[in-house]
Structure 1
Amino acid sequence: MVPIATSTITSSGFEPAGFFLPDLFNDCCYPLRMNPRSHRVSRASEQWLFNEAHVSEPEIAKLRAIRASDLIAYSYPNADASHLRIPLDFLYWAFKLDDYLDGHGVDDARAMHLIAWAMRECCISALRDPINFQMDNPAGKICKSIFSRFIETASPGCTKQFIHTFDLFFIAASKEADNHAKGHNHNLESYTTLRWDLSGCKSFFVFIKYAARMDLPDEVVSHPMIMAMEDATNDFISWSNDICSYNKEQSDCDTYSNLIAVLMHERGLDLQGAADYSGKLCKSVIQRFEDSHATLPSWGEEVDKQVAIYIQGLQDLMVGSLHWYFDSARYFGKDGQTVKQDRFIKLLPQRPL
């Protein structure tokens, strides 16, 4: 179920100049850690991407400004260089894929549904047979490059889970494009359910286990409290991302898949009211995470140690992504640290369609 939050419905007869961010850092106060190996891993990953995806200026400068390596360094602070490299390669590729699948209006939605499904067939084929898979499609070739290195040290459980979660992303992306084409408007519950897969977080949950070189037993992976903590982590990362990306997306006239826009439409909230409501939702899922953590059973000393590492990894993902939104130029340009301090977002003008 979607957590309950309260908000005052407000309205105004003019377009707002901006809105204040909720105090997300007060609610997500886990310690921020950073992997000291990220700098040299970043250089190698960037060069790999630029070569594999045939990236040239000015896109190179744009990708570097994203500071993807910081997000991965925050998320996997204890990983060795080789186990840090795979999530970073995957993230760089995911950004390129996300930018390609996003930013399309209703007129393009039907085409994007077909494109997302075709991309799924290509990429999942590469994951299921990375040795024999052959295709000229750059997306498939990049998937093959990442996954062939991933399986060198990944456990059987991690391998299976990674393929499954990546497939869920493509299915969700295709469904979202189809929903958009049909003019379907989300409510909070339907949006949350789809966002769990569309966010891509589930693949990065797998990387926690991959980076720690562990394979949790099935009884742990499928335990309701572990799954509840994963859902809470997914909600926090997805919803805080929606809050921070709203300005960029409204400027691109592409707020269809954004929590703030969903709340404005469903609840009749103005922009500030929807932002405040979103912040309360984020606070509620942190509490849900902690409540689930407090009720975990014991599986024995050795398994409990692995579970503790996994839970720490979920916390690292939440706090690391939150700090990264303001470090990266992806959402706030060069103003991230000012926005982080003042918490005010001045709305960008909308670009012509």
Structure 2
Amino acid sequence: MVERQLAEWAQRLRLLSGEATVHRFRAARFGEFASFVYPDAPDLLIYAKWLAWLFVVDDLYDENRAPGQGGIVNGVLPYLPDQGQPPAQPIDPASAALADMWPELRASMPDSLRERFRGHTDHYVRSYATDLANARTGLAPALAPYITLRRASGAVETCVDLIERQPAAYLPPHTAGATDLLALREAANDVICWSNDVLSLAKEIEHGELNNLVAVLRDATGLGWQAALEVAAEMVGARTREFEQISHRLLSGDADPALAPFIDGVQLWIAGSLHWHQSSPRYAATPA
């Protein structure tokens, strides 16, 4: 049911063009993805819409070389207005879909979460217009700037924010802004994005995209693809252990009652994302 409703929504908003694109969208099973990463959500369709929108935008700017001038890469806050304010007039299907989703997305968000989500979404879309994101030199970027870019371009912060739409997992500002909590989110971001890099490598190489952790390590070290892939996997494992250590630290002592359901939600997101990436036909085998 969710998959059908999702495809109908994407076609109505003109996010999909051509029979091949529609087929690829349906095959990706974004509704299933949402059920893996937000298993307790009572309104699963809106989460599926958000995930589908992120991947459609990613394909638009990564694969199709959409121009950096005009469109959502100049910011999206006008399409995510405050309560009671109308959205700006959409200029393309991506902005139209964003404005269409926003009333339902924000309905369950406390003010602080809504503002955090708006900021993270704007930061995400602007990442596609950076010089590093648009560089097409035939070389992968250096490791440190790549990691900074990936933390923005992966949109993980927006997805983690949505965990807090469930009241039990909502973190008030003093908790959400704590040093360990921000470190936890950053570790989760790296685990999710770097795992995506490992599993999407073949797809990205096919489209000439070298903004990928494996490609970055290969260019930096002179390793072959397989050896660079193994180093990337080790980095994912190290960050996963850091995430677990921070989780234990946050939950010890007199912790905010919302921390346990929030951290559970992040753990489910990491596991569910990995499961979907491993099973989705979006991703092919890594090049030899």
Secondary structure in 1 aligned to 2:67? helix
2:265 is aligned with what amino acid? G
1:253–1:135: structure 2 CA closer, same or farther, 3 Å change rule?
Answer: closer
**Partners of 1:112 and 1:299 in 2: how far apart?**
50
**Partners of 1:75 and 1:131 in 2: how far apart?**
30
Alignment partner, residue 243 of structure 1: 198
Instruction: Pick from 249, 255, 269 the counterpart of residue 295 of structure 1.
Output: 249
Secondary structure in 2 aligned to 1:151? helix
**Partners of 1:271 and 1:178 in 2: how far apart?**
22
Aligned-pair distance for 1:135? 3.2
2:34 is aligned with what amino acid? I
Aligned-pair distance for 1:347? 3.1
Give yes or no for the alignment of 1:327 onto 2:287: no
2:270 is aligned with what amino acid? M
**Partners of 1:312 and 1:185 in 2: how far apart?**
35
Aligned-pair distance for 1:322? 0.7
**Partners of 1:46 and 1:179 in 2: how far apart?**
30
Alignment partner, residue 232 of structure 2: 278
List runs of 5+ in structure 1 lacking aligned partners. Answer: 1-39, 333-344, 349-353
Give yes or no for the alignment of 1:312 onto 2:264: yes
2:63 is aligned with what amino acid? G
1:65–1:179: structure 2 CA closer, same or farther, 3 Å change rule?
Answer: closer
Secondary structure in 1 aligned to 2:108? coil
1:320–1:297: structure 2 CA closer, same or farther, 3 Å change rule?
Answer: closer
1:176–1:198: structure 2 CA closer, same or farther, 3 Å change rule?
Answer: farther
Query: Aligned residues: percent identity?
Result: 26
Correspondences of 1:1-353 after superposition (within 5 Å): 40-53=1-14, 55=16, 56-80=18-42, 82=43, 84-103=44-63, 112-115=67-70, 118-121=71-74, 123-128=76-81, 131-176=86-131, 180=135, 185-212=140-167, 214-254=169-209, 256-296=210-250, 303-304=256-257, 306-332=258-284, 345=285, 347=287
Aligned-pair distance for 1:132? 4.5
**Partners of 1:166 and 1:347 in 2: how far apart?**
32
TM-score by length of 1: 0.74
RMSD of Structure 2 on Structure 1 (CA): 2.4
TM-score by length of 2: 0.90
List runs of 5+ in structure 2 lacking aligned partners. Answer: none
Please list every run of at least 4 consecutive aligned residues from structure 1 whose deviation after the TM superposition is greater than 4 angstroms. Answer: 176-179, 181-185, 297-301
**Partners of 1:217 and 1:283 in 2: how far apart?**
30
Greater relative contact order structure (CA < 8 Å, 6+ sep): 1
**Partners of 1:178 and 1:93 in 2: how far apart?**
19
**1:249-281 alpha-carbon deviations (Å, 9 max, x no partner):** 222222x21001000111221111101100110
**1:77-134 alpha-carbon deviations (Å, 9 max, x no partner):** 1110x2x222211111222111110025xxx6xx73324xx32346321113562522
**1:225-267 alpha-carbon deviations (Å, 9 max, x no partner):** 111111111111111111111111222222x210010001112
Determine which structure has more spread, i.e. the larger CA radius of gyration: 1
**1:319-347 alpha-carbon deviations (Å, 9 max, x no partner):** 11111112211003xxxxxxxxxxxx463
